[in-house]
Amino acid sequence: MASIEPTELKALITLLDDQDAEVFYHVQERLRGYGSEIVPHLMEAWEGTPNLVLQDRIEYVIHHIQLEQSLNAFEHWIQTPELDLLSGALIIAQHRYPDFNEHLIWNRVDQLKRDIWVEMRGFTSPIEKINLFNHVFYRQWAFTVRAVEEDVEGHDFFLNRVVESRKGNELTIGMLYLAMARQLGLPVYGVILPDNFCLAYCRQELDEDRLLWGKEELQRGIQFFINPANKGLIFTRHELREHLKKIDQADLYDDIGPVTTLAVVELLVTTMQLYYRKHHKPDLADDMNAYLRLLH
């Protein structure tokens, strides 16, 4: 990363409000090239000017510097063999909350994991384990699903906020539930339904490559399903088939099974993109495209 002199930085920031679009383009590209080290200087300049145009353009530069940081971290995460779901989701959270207290979030997650482990200790039945998991997750810790319509700012899509507030939408509560189950060594995997995100408790651990195999074999390995949006309600394959019939999607039954961690993260990013488009935030929707390109 190149070093920059304070006088040069000040001159570049002053040029940000130039009316010539080509000048603005080259200046913001130059500033973005210096990376995150200049963000505090940009924020100081933002606070020190009453010029609204300049403020907007400083915000634009800061946002894209932070987005690039997040994308770099996300690309690195995709290449890690562990593919820890919560780690990936928290990288995406930096898109909206670049300065959130990651140490605090992981401390709370570790405490939640310990509480669930202590409750499940000594029980061997999968259903018993999930019932005790649900008791800690939904009753002791009081994680709650909110309708998307109740979250007009989209906060519930970010796992740091879900951990802090203990509120999320159907997808992010399900993702946190899944992340905790995986970290506790439970053979639980995401399942993408036409109208919901649920989980499957399998007979054995499956690595990411195995999850790319044929759905028929994976389906035979499912013991039961879990609905994290309904306080961890357990349901059977027969009940899943009946549900799909009710929503006129019965032909999808043979294609439904456990999916990879990357597929779950892609669902999050795609859902966020649709949310931003619905709420007329095209720039944020475009940001989601950048994550999707890395996933493909």
Domain count, the chain: 2
Residue with the bigger pLDDT between 109 and 32: it is 109
53 and 119 share a domain?
no
248 and 120 share a domain?
yes
136 and 269 share a domain?
yes
Per-residue pLDDT at 111 exceeds 80: yes
68 and 193 share a domain?
no
286 and 167 share a domain?
yes
65 and 178 share a domain?
no
Q: Highest mean pLDDT range out of 51-65, 197-211, 222-236, 250-264? A: 222-236
The percentage of residues in the chain with a pLDDT greater than 90, rounded to a whole number, is: 65
Q: pLDDT at position 1, please?
A: 47
Per-residue pLDDT at 75 exceeds 60: yes
89: in domain: yes
**What does the block give as tokens for 79?**
């290449």
Angle CA 97–10–35, to nearest 5: 40
Per the structure, the complete domain to which residue 33 belongs is given by 6-78
138: in domain: yes
Q: Highest mean pLDDT range out of 7-21, 98-112, 214-228? A: 98-112
- Interatomic CA distance for residues 218 and 187, integer angstroms: 12
Query: What CATH code is carried by the domain that includes residue 19?
Result: 1.25.10
Listed residues 35, 55, 78: the one ending a domain: 78
91 and 62 share a domain?
no
Model pLDDT for residues 253-296, shown as the tens digit of each residue:
888 999 999 999 999 999 999 999 999 999 999 999 999 999 98
56 and 190 share a domain?
no
Confidence of residue 96 (pLDDT cuts 50, 70, 90): confident
156 and 174 share a domain?
yes
Model pLDDT for residues 12-30, shown as the tens digit of each residue:
888 888 888 888 889 888 8
Q: pLDDT at position 213, please?
A: 67
70 and 104 share a domain?
no
68 and 137 share a domain?
no
The alpha carbon of residue 203 and the mean position of all alpha carbons in its chain are separated, in whole angstroms, by 27
Listed residues 47, 63, 78: the one ending a domain: 78
DSSP three-state, residue 191: strand
Q: What is the pTM of this model?
A: 0.91
* Stretch 34-40: mean pLDDT: 86
56 and 109 share a domain?
no
Listed residues 78, 109, 136: the one ending a domain: 78
CA distances from 258 to 136, 159, 241 (A): 24, 21, 15
Q: pLDDT at position 3, please?
A: 63
Q: pLDDT at position 151, please?
A: 83
Q: Are 171 and 271 in contact (CB under 8 A)?
A: yes
DSSP structure class, residue 192: E
DSSP three-state, residue 201: strand
Per-residue pLDDT at 157 exceeds 90: yes
1: in domain: no
